[in-house]
Amino acid sequence: MSTPADRIITALRTGHEELAALVRDLKEDDLLRPSGASEWQVSQVLSHLGSGAEITLASLDAARTGAPGPDGDFNKGVWARWDAMAPAEHAAGFLAANQRLVEAYEALDAETRSTLRIDLGFLPEPVDLATAARFRLSEFALHQWDVEVAFNPFAAVTPEATSLLLD
C-alpha cells in the first residue's frame, strides 16, 4: 500500500523528469527569458530550485545520520555559490542537485520513510518525511510552472502535485 510519503516522492520524481526534459534543451537565450516568477529569469528559478534541493538534501542527510541540520550560515553559503553561477551553470546545477535529492528520497526504505523526523530549521520541531517532502513538492511544483510558463502560456501546475498539495 502506498503511503503519503511514497506518493509525494513519486510526484517529485515525475516533476523532476518533466522539468529536466525541458531544461536539458534550453539555450542561453531561453535561460534569460522572464519566468512566471515576475522578478526572475528562467535561470534564476532553476538556481532557486537547485540551491533548495541542495539545502533540502543536507537536512535529509542530517536526519538520516543524526548530525546537526544545516544552519543559516550553511544556507547563505549555498545561496552565494548559486548566485555566482552563470545561467548555463544554473541549469546544469539544478539537473544534478535535484536528481540527487530525488534519488535520496527514493532510496529510503519503508521503515525509514515511516519513522524519520527531519528538522527543517524553521519549524518548532522536526516533522515526518511526508511533511518535509510536501514542503519541497510545494516549492518545486510552483517553480516548475514558473519555468514552463515561460515557454507555454497554457502551462499549469501538474495535477499530480496539485492533488497532493491540496490534500
Q: Give the pLDDT band (50/70/90) at residue 69.
A: confident
Q: What is the mean pLDDT of residues 39-43?
A: 97
Q: Give the pLDDT band (50/70/90) at residue 21.
A: very high
- What does residue 109 show for φ and ψ, rounded to 5 degrees? -75, 170
Residue 80: is its pLDDT beyond 70?
yes
- What does residue 118 show for φ and ψ, rounded to 5 degrees? -120, 130
Cell matching residue 95: 539537473
Residue 144: is its pLDDT beyond 90?
yes
Query: What is the spatial distance between Cα 124 and Cα 117, in angstroms, rounded to a whole number?
Result: 13
The predicted pLDDT at position 1 comes to 57
Of the candidates 46, 72, 47, 44, the residue with the CA atom closest to the CA atom of residue 58: 72
Q: Computed over its alpha carbons, how large is the radius of gyration of the chain?
A: 16
The predicted pLDDT at position 167 comes to 65
Residue 77: is its pLDDT beyond 90?
yes
Q: What is the mean pLDDT of residues 87-95?
A: 98
pTM of the shown model? 0.95
Query: What is the spatial distance between Cα 6 and Cα 143, in angstroms, rounded to a whole number?
Result: 21
Residue 163: is its pLDDT beyond 60?
yes
The predicted pLDDT at position 50 comes to 98
The predicted pLDDT at position 159 comes to 87
Alpha carbon 125 to chain centroid, angstroms = 21
91-95, 98-102, 131-135, 163-167: range with lowest mean pLDDT = 163-167
Average pLDDT, the chain: 95
The predicted pLDDT at position 11 comes to 96
Helix (H), strand (E) counts: the chain: 8, 2
The predicted pLDDT at position 112 comes to 95
Sign of CA dihedral 30, 43, 49, 104: positive
Q: Is 158 helix (H, G, I), strand (E, B) or coil?
A: coil
Residue 76: is its pLDDT beyond 60?
yes
Query: What is the spatial distance between Cα 63 and Cα 117, in angstroms, rounded to a whole number?
Result: 7
